[in-house]
Structure 1
């Protein structure tokens, strides 16, 4: 009798656990699958009180959010916006509803788990331009539990080799433009088991995604992923050493970015949202979770390179309601202001990636009647601070803290500084680490540990908070260069330069630029055999060399040849001295 009673109790507890899990999932889905009320008067304090997401033990954005929007769509309770709307600028378009995205992503998931033999937890590198398959494969990786590692197509063979070796990725997915670079290094990548080509036609040694997708079944059982299981890894540049692997879980992005969708982007299921970010950056993934959590349409323009005329024409031609781009893009757009362009559907504009100039904000508002709502975040975080829709904007400020974080300004000892005092921007992680912060730097516990000072995660950025709780960006605490939203580590550029026989040593720092905010500048000491060379030709040769040795966007746009570099007593180059000298010139 006692054994029967114990068995009955175990069954009851299991049932209660399942009910509790389902209830928690429902609450998470309600947060994700409920559009923000666009017309509701905004209250920052009310937002902080209302944003209380629950994180269940198990969570997968594909099944728990995207599939839920498919159900809402079928019930006729959602506006007839597509989930994805892609255009190529030459008249070709692709539109997928949530249901179509679901069917295609299940087929793609079967390709990954079938022909590619990927299992939950395996890693795969994805290098694709702005084509529909990039978004499709993001969702397919969620469904299979594959850890996705996005990268820009500007990566060189050397960059790809480093990422494949460091991550131990089981496969790589790319197109013809990168295939040759992959083939040149694959022999040195022991973990690489497959290469998947997303292009027309066939290539020897590669699987054809289009052929496999066409024949794949459309039924697929989504992987059971815990909320804290790894979902994506982003390589991010640092001051010294090669790029680090920044790991995010299923909940950090899948649930954590709902605050961006609801309050910063102010999205509803009626909106069409366009973010111009390169697919290699975390900001592109932000758009997936921020937009689709609210049932909004993700608009994509193929645009191989940023083109102000193409952007302005698209904002005029398509019913885009919410627009996001880097400050560099806005600076270029106001310079290309066209009187014939009217943005009849546009209602909300945001900016991220770097500080935006108040003058640019003023010009944009004078032209469009719309404010630009600036925000602040990192590859390691979700939205840290933002100028939320309906909040008073202080031009030049990154806004107020996201309700997902407790943000402070601290000193070198981890003490909280009062308003008006400059220090490091930090997020409180003790006694409880926020769920919406990166998990770790993969396989690098020392660098992960180094991000914590006292009770805080330190961002590496300096700023201050004013008396009204608004945060203001001052600059990087380290030497990382933020050029047009691209983070560039000086070590990577210096390593590329030193490979050239003309370079004895170099120091790379940021230099102010009216369009990009700041650009890469290299101070170069030449070897004796090259001192007499023409400086202009030498600079061009070194720039071309860097473009080939590493990702082209990292090349030094400015260069100065010097006899020696300032150093500490221990022989370390004083980049800080060079950077300060450079910024004082302008």
Structure 2
């Protein structure tokens, strides 16, 4: 059963092509009751989660299981005084308790704050102070309880503490507590406009911002799951992300359950892309979504047969065309890129029913009105770089776009200036209506009177076998205004040298227009990155300009 049709209305043209999607939902919409419990009541044995870990443990959870376990945890939380509007942090890796706790928090009207277990003590301290959490539920693994207690002490805060997958001093075991909690839970009053989830951005240009979404957020992910990832009713969708990242909301719960697909969860610590393909084949995964890093690794190391896989998608950073081509040649599956932000749901993608274009962000989601605008706020022309903006059909908030920045109304008003939402990302649109990523709007390089998006140069760099990782940005230049500089992490078999520098320059500049030529190359052992793995261009640019 696909429950999404209860809330989603599709508008097609005379040829049957999807043109627009609208949502209709009650004022008290709550994903826990109106999706999970509804599906559990009508098809109790329908699969919701197929879970396994690196140690060989396996579980299959039905929607009936999710309803029962979430009710029990909701009752544990309520007995501890947690209710509507209270903030609860989840640090649960890929443990199955995340899905129980998430749905429980939605049901009682509390605000869920998912964060990754990789955060340092200072990272946690900042988030605890900013959010004012009432409780924390964390894994007992990876010394997370120790970091949590130290962060609380440094912040001068207290919170109710639970852990799972083991025990820790000062923490109650939530798995044990739920076993004796009641299974019944009467519907608790919540509103669709209430805050439901708080994510912290990765902080590429400053301290992480708290992004708050309402209870309507899951519904906007119908497009994510159905039209981009192509998750299907009674299928099995596998998104690699850990639950501490917003990508988990994109691929591990909301849209997938709304369209009737179970989610595949592989709980691991050591990243091994080859193991991911074994999971796909063992459990019969039908749709798969992973960051470009995974596909790059598979292309380099060899891609096995994956007979059950029908669709593959990617997001998080742009994908090099070479990886797209080799993956498609080997599997027969096009890699469909998608684009969005923590503040939004899917904005642009290579959608079902259209051929995927290598390196393209795709076309605007039928759920949003997307435009490209130049620095003067005017529509950008064909093949002209502009900022990606969302233009709401009516004044006010747009479903799927965040409702507030945590304690930062000024920043919220700034990104909504002029009545549109400014993503800060630069792109261009070609004659066919496809969008092409050019970098952060502030990262656009202005050289010799031309504007160059760093990604188009990085794409060419990644074609060279010696380039394992790279970042391109502009540095001051007396002749050009800015010169194009590349920082490169070479592969292990390619030691840095003057000869390698000349070889890479020649390789790239033969493939680039002259105004896009790389003028400077610096080799590095690693890139400065955020906790989510995004390269911090602003730091490298400042370092380069200070030299």
TM-score, scaled relative to structure 1: 0.74
- 2:196 partner SS: strand
* Higher RCO (C-alpha under 8 Å, 6+ residues apart): 1
> 5+ unaligned residues in a row in structure 2: which ranges?
445-453, 459-470, 472-484, 492-523
Query: CA separation of 1:208/1:348 partners in 2, compared to 1, >3 Å: closer, same or farther?
Result: same
Of the three residues 281, 298, 302, the one matched with 2:267 is 302
Question: Residues of 1 paired with 2:313 and 2:330: CA distance?
Answer: 15
Q: In 1, are the aligned partners of 2:89 and 2:114 still within 8 Å (CA)?
A: yes
Instruction: Say if 1:314 and 1:29 are closer, same or farther in 2 by CA, change over 3 A.
Output: closer
The correspondence for 2:38, drawn from 68, 76, 86, is 68
Give the 3-state SS of the residue equivalent to 2:186 in structure 1. coil
Aligned counterpart in structure 2 of residue 407 of structure 1, from 354, 370, 379: 370
Compute the displacement of 1:103 (Å). 0.5
SS of corresponding position for 1:388: coil
User: How much has 1:554 moved relative to structure 2?
Assistant: 7.7
Give the SS at the match of 1:257. helix
1:108 to 55, 73, 77: 73
Contact 1:42–1:391 (8 Å) recurs in 2: no
Correspondence for 2:5: 30
User: Superposition pairs for residues 463-502 of structure 1, below 5 Å?
Assistant: 463-478=427-442
Distance 1:209 1:85, change over 3 A: same
Answer yes or no: is the 8 Å Cα contact 2:3–2:259 preserved in 1. no
C-alpha displacement at 1:266, in angstroms? 2.2
2:245 is the alignment partner of 1:281: yes
Is 1:433 paired with 2:433? no
Computing the radius of gyration from Cα coordinates, the structure with the larger value is: 1
Flag structure 1 segments of 5+ consecutive residues without an equivalent: 1-26, 75-79, 484-489, 491-508, 516-538, 559-572
C-alpha contact 1:196 1:206 (8 A) present in aligned 2: yes
Shift in Å at residue 244 of structure 1?
0.6
> Structure 2 CA distance, aligned partners of 1:511 and 1:45?
47
Which of 201, 215, 218 matches 1:250?
Answer: 215
Distance in 1 (CA, whole Å) between partners of 2:247 and 2:131 is 21
2:199/2:212 contact within 8 Å kept: yes
Contact residue 365 and residue 371 of structure 1 kept, 8 A: yes
Partner SS, residue 279 of structure 2:
helix
Structure 1 residues 335-389: Cα deviation after superposition (integer angstroms, max 9, x where no partner): 1215xx3211110111111111121111111111111111101000001011111
Verify: 1:460 aligned to 2:460, yes or no: no
Q: Residue 83 of structure 1 aligns to a residue in which SS?
A: strand
Write the distance in 2 (CA, Å) between the matches of 1:269 and 1:555: 37
Residue 123 (1) aligns with residue 87 (2): yes
Aligned match of 2:26 in 48, 56, 61?
A: 56
Bigger share in helix? 1
Aligned with 1:263 (options 227, 233, 244): 227
* Aligned pair partner of 1:293 in 255, 258, 282: 258
- 3-state SS in 1 of match to 2:24: coil
Stretch of structure 1 that moved more, 118-127 or 171-180: 171-180
Partner of 2:358: 395
What aligned pairs does 1:347-366 form with structure 2 within 5 A after superposition? 347-366=310-329
How far does residue 128 in structure 1 lie from its aligned partner after superposition? 1.4
Partner of 1:136 in structure 2?
100
Structure 1 residue 145 corresponds to structure 2 residue 109: yes
Give the conservation status (yes or no) of the 8 Å contact 1:234–1:245: yes
Cα distance between partner residues in 2 of 1:96 and 1:395: 37
Q: What CA distance in whole angstroms lies between the structure 1 residues aligned with 2:199 and 2:14?
A: 34
Counting matched residue pairs gives 473
Residues 1:188 and 1:510: Cα distance change in structure 2 (over 3 Å)? farther
Q: What is the CA-CA distance between 1:463 and the residue it aligns to?
A: 0.4
**Alpha-carbon deviation of 1:32?**
5.5
Aligned CA distance change for structure 1 residues 555 and 379 (closer, same or farther; 3 Å): closer
Contact 1:404 1:434 in 2 (8 A): no
Supply the distance in 1 between the matched residues of 2:99 and 2:489 (Cα, whole angstroms): 33
The Cα of 1:551 is off from its aligned counterpart by: 4.8
What is the distance in 2 between the residues matched to 1:383 and 1:350?
12
Mapped contact 1:125–1:169 kept (Cα < 8 A): yes
The whole-number CA distance in structure 2 between the counterparts of 1:256 and 1:555 is 28
Asked whether the 8 Å contact 1:461–1:476 carries over to 2, the reply is yes
Mean CA deviation greater in 306-315 or 290-299: 306-315
- Cα deviations by residue, 1:50-74 (Å, 9 ceiling, x for unpaired): x221132111001111112113314
SS of the aligned residue for 2:312 comes to strand
- 2:145 aligned partner: 179
By how many angstroms is 1:187 displaced?
Answer: 2.7
